[in-house]
Amino acid sequence: MQSIPDPDQPTPTSRADLTNVIFLKNAIESPLIDVGDFTYYDDEGFRPPFEQANVKYLHGPQRLVLGRFTAIAPGATFLMPGGNHPMIGPSTYPFTMFGGAWQQATLEAFLAIEQPGDTVVGNDVWIGRDATVLPGVTIGDGAIIGAHSVVTRDVHPYEVVAGNPARPVRMRFDAHDVERLLAVRWWDWPVEKITEYAAVIMAGSPQELERLS
């Protein structure tokens, strides 16, 4: 179906004017970033590339993993563990970074410091404008991150959080319906089925999606 957006193109093929919407998987070069189909970033038509402007300290080995059908608003930033300073002793000064004698003296101690893991964002997540996600955070499927929020800890599936630091605002659905939605996993359906039932996915109920699955 030609009218369905092609996830393998940089921008939606179904609307020639929607050039500010970037399907991220086609704009990523780093092997440390993994992006699912139809996940997009709104660059407003003038912002620098996402990988350079929105993902900081991506030195590895930790990865940034973004699921399918996730929407990322302008200015959202992911801080990766490569920017962390040591906090286990008296000083946070990053001696190891400078190489030479300082690196030799501190490398063993630095490598022994426990580091956060991958930063993982689930499927069908909405990340608001200028939100910041800290290293090693996991954001569950269906969650919403409020604009200008600073996410310092994991976010449950279908949870709405906001603020600095981001705190729970509410759950989008009750626990039973969250279980339903996580079992249905509509984002993994064939794109033709998603297209056929897009109105239900957008405005229906978890029970309706469960019946369709």
Q: Which amino acid is at 206?
A: P
Element (H, E) at 145: strand 144-145
SS3 142: coil
For 136, left (φ over 0), alpha (ψ -120 to 50), or beta?
Answer: left
Task: Examine the residue annotation and report whether 156 is marked as an active-site residue of this protein.
Answer: no
Rounded Cα distance, 126 and 206, in Å: 18
Whether omega for the bond prior to residue 165 falls within 30 degrees of 0, making it cis, is yes
Q: Which amino acid is at 159?
A: E
- What are the helix and strand counts (H, E) for the chain? 6, 15
Alpha helices for the chain (secondary structure H): 50-53, 100-111, 175-184, 191-196, 198-203, 206-212
Catalytic annotation, pick one of 85, 148, 156, 176: 85
Enumerate the active-site residues.
85
